[in-house]
Structure 1
Amino acid sequence: MILCQSKYAEEIIHRSKMDNFKPVVTPVDTKLKLSAHDGEPIQDPSLYRSLVGALQYLTFTRPNIAYVVQQVFPFMHAPREPHFNALKHIIRYIKGTFDHGLHLYRSAPTRLTSYTDAD
């Protein structure tokens, strides 16, 4: 079974007004380095905050975007253009990966499988 929030992802794209943008194949631009003082402040910080919060909720079924969403989160208090561009890149990735989700496999009821990352 796959837990998928494709309808919610579509709502995020619609809320961001990025319905006509082309999708990208990676969730982050590897050449981009975010800093608190680069670029101009954005005109509508509430939209930025709303979209970051929505993407955080999406990470429940999309752990593959958790890292990149946490990269744009620290700038919620004073978002600037490069931060918003990084956020738009994540949304463009979501647009191309509606079918991604959390895979749940059948297992014996007495068997517990756990994964961890030491980092």
Structure 2
Amino acid sequence: MPTCHPCRTLVEAGAKLTSHGPTVKDLTLYRSLAGTLQYLTFTRPYISYAAQQICLFMHDPCEQHMHALKQIIHYIPGTTDLSLNLYASSPTTLVTYSDAEWAGYPTTRRFTYGYCVFLGNNLLSWSSKLQLTSSRSIAEAKYRGVANVMAETSWVRNLLQELHCPLTSATLLMRGTDPTPFYAP
């Protein structure tokens, strides 16, 4: 698909992949393209979550999965100028963002969470993950997401201290769309 028209979005808004529907006719093509996307995530980490969602159905893909895979492929040519930039600045603050979606995965009712960690203006770490267990409420899902980002934050703070760049201010934790920050030591 070297001459495909770039797509503006990586995935369709609000789309949930399920295991229902007509199966893909060419399993080898689907698996080959999905594997290629996995390798592409090394240089394009912003497609990691979408590629992971495609690979969940590698054993029995449906036509909707092939459509989602093709949308990712259409998205990539329009992002050749995107990059993660690191800026020279004194690391004064550590800011983290965390959010969770309870029972957002329709087949298993598990929750997903994601976080990102910034040191000044620089993105240091990020993660998006489907949890292995299901939660009883959105509060529990969000609590688990916050616990994971705080574990990552503690690791970053300890690493900076070992590098003789200790942080003197508290870490700011922003949760989802809630504008009220948490402060962590």
Instruction: Please tell me whether the aligned partners of residues 61 and 102 of structure 1 are also in contact (alpha carbons under 8 angstroms).
Output: no
Residue 32 (1) aligns with residue 7 (2): no
Distance 1:116 1:63, change over 3 A: closer
Q: Which has the higher helix share?
A: 1
Amino acid at match of 2:57: F
Matches of 2:34 and 2:74, distance apart in 1: 14
Partner of 2:2: 19
Distance 1:92 1:67, change over 3 A: same
Amino acid at match of 1:92: H
Q: Deviations over 1:42-83 (max 9, x none)?
A: 111111111111111111111111011111111101111000
Distance 1:59 1:85, change over 3 A: same
What's the CA shift for 1:27? Answer: 0.8
TM alignment of 1:76-87, pairs within 5 A: 76-87=58-69
What's the CA shift for 1:40? Answer: 0.8
Partner of 1:12: none
Matches of 1:63 and 1:101, distance apart in 2: 10
Matches of 1:95 and 1:35, distance apart in 2: 27
Residue 115 (1) aligns with residue 97 (2): no
Partner of 2:55: 73
Amino acid at match of 1:24: C
Determine which of 22, 43, 56 is the counterpart of 2:38.
56
TM-score after normalising by structure 1: 0.69
Q: CA RMSD in A?
A: 2.2
TM-score after normalising by structure 2: 0.46
Task: Give structure 2 stretches of 5+ with no counterpart.
Answer: 90-118, 128-147, 150-185
Larger Rg: 1 or 2? 2
Distance 1:106 1:48, change over 3 A: farther
Amino acid at match of 2:7: V
Task: Give structure 1 stretches of 5+ with no counterpart.
Answer: 1-17, 108-112
Matches of 2:31 and 2:14, distance apart in 1: 23
Identity of aligned residues (%): 50
What's the CA shift for 1:21? Answer: 2.5
Matches of 1:45 and 1:31, distance apart in 2: 26
